Amino acid sequence: MAKIVFIGAGSLGFTRGLVRDLLTFPLLRDAHIALVDINKERLSFAKRACEKIVAMGRYPAKVTATTDRREALKGADAVLVTILCGNTRIWQHDILIPKKYGIDINVGDTRGPSGIFRALRTIPTMLEICKDMEELCPGAIMLNYTNPMAMLCHAMQRKSFIQLSGLCHSVQGTAAMLAGWAGVKYESVDYVCAGINHMAWFLEFKHKGRDLYPRIHKAITTDKKVYNHEQVRNEMFLALGYYVTESSGHNSEYNWWFRKRPDLVKQYCTSGTGWNPGHHAYILDEYRGKEGSWKGEVRKWLAEDAPMPLERGHEYAASIINARMGGELFSFNGNVPNTGLITNLPPGCCVEVPVLASRQGFQPMHVGDLPPSCAMLTGLSAQIEMMAVEGCLTGDAFRVYQAIAHDPLTAAKLSLAEIRKMTGEMFHQNAAYLPQFKKINL
């Protein structure tokens, strides 16, 4: 019986989908699903939801729930993490303070000043989880879904021996979108995708050995519906020659090109038919909207008597855990240390590359150089992430300021003096969540 622990199980969307996926594998159908959350009400709903899936599938699985993380981790084989450190009020300030200085943020959970402060709050908790795993389940793997993915994984990979990888659905999601634009089935596409989280690039995208980029280029340049669906990413593709993972909303924040002037926001970030990058604080507003409705939605879902589809979804986690437990090998894009895997990105940074999961754990693939047009922005972002993590691990607030000063969008909008002032204000607002910073001297 495999023991699989969910830390942050109150993230019900993830928990339900991943438990459904796990139990579809013969090796995992009798798994012990151990749920952990600090919110007792959400934890109770998560347990009931998982028990419903078990009952519907008539699985011999076991579901337990506890607020005691250490109790759940004893003897675990795999640990999945979906947590939020800090409440929506502090997250709001992460976005509103930069806005006051002229930095208009769409998401703010991965990079830039708001993403960095989210990392500063979250890294200590992630390291505590690793420490508990080293003691209680040292052979277990960790699969992290929490953002900011690259900074969290980099910190843990620096400080812990636990085998871990970060997972993001943007790779397979973008691959499916591109396959549709090229007029082929997603299942028949072969690709190589590498870079860093949310800024990985499809270096190859082929169907039966044939390069699909010419078809994709034609679709983007001749079909307004295709172009308008992802205006930011399509412009990046036309300029850089390779398609980037993750949405236009996220990527509009990671560079200098789309959010530094109101006219550019209007041109590239407001009329797209996909995710609308022009929506200020999109993810925060979506999260707050669900805060008041999630109970009713879950109660309705639990009360439904109709048969529930139990087919496996497209997240990687279940297939990775199945491979780890001795099932078929599984290839996925994961976040791992750069041990020479991408030769023109900083050694030791957290990269997102093809990884093979097996009984032995994770075997990442050597990629070589990223194309120069992609490596410049990607390398800068990776170095910023490393600098921010170093500041967090050492309690060096000035190092954090230096990381924010190099952020492309921040630097396109503000002077160094303005960045220093903004960073100090964000430290003041976050002081209660950042005990590792004994002295804020900027």
Catalytic residues: 169
Both tokens of residue 138? 């040292």
Cis peptide before 148, with omega less than 30 degrees from 0? yes
d(CA 431, CA 423): 12
Q: Whose structure tokens read 């590792």?
A: 436
DSSP element (H, E) containing 120: helix 112-136
Which residues on adjacent β-strands are paired with residue 63?
A: 33
Q: How far is CA 57 from CA 21, 311, 312, 336, in A?
A: 11, 10, 12, 34
Q: Which residue from 203, 130, 237, 166 is spatially nearest to 366, judged by alpha carbons? A: 203
Q: How far is CA 289 from CA 27, 95, 165, 279, 284, in A?
A: 38, 17, 30, 15, 8
| Strand-strand pairing, 32-36 and 189-196 | unpaired
d(CA 120, CA 124): 8
Are 249 and 270 in contact, with CB atoms under 8 Å apart? no
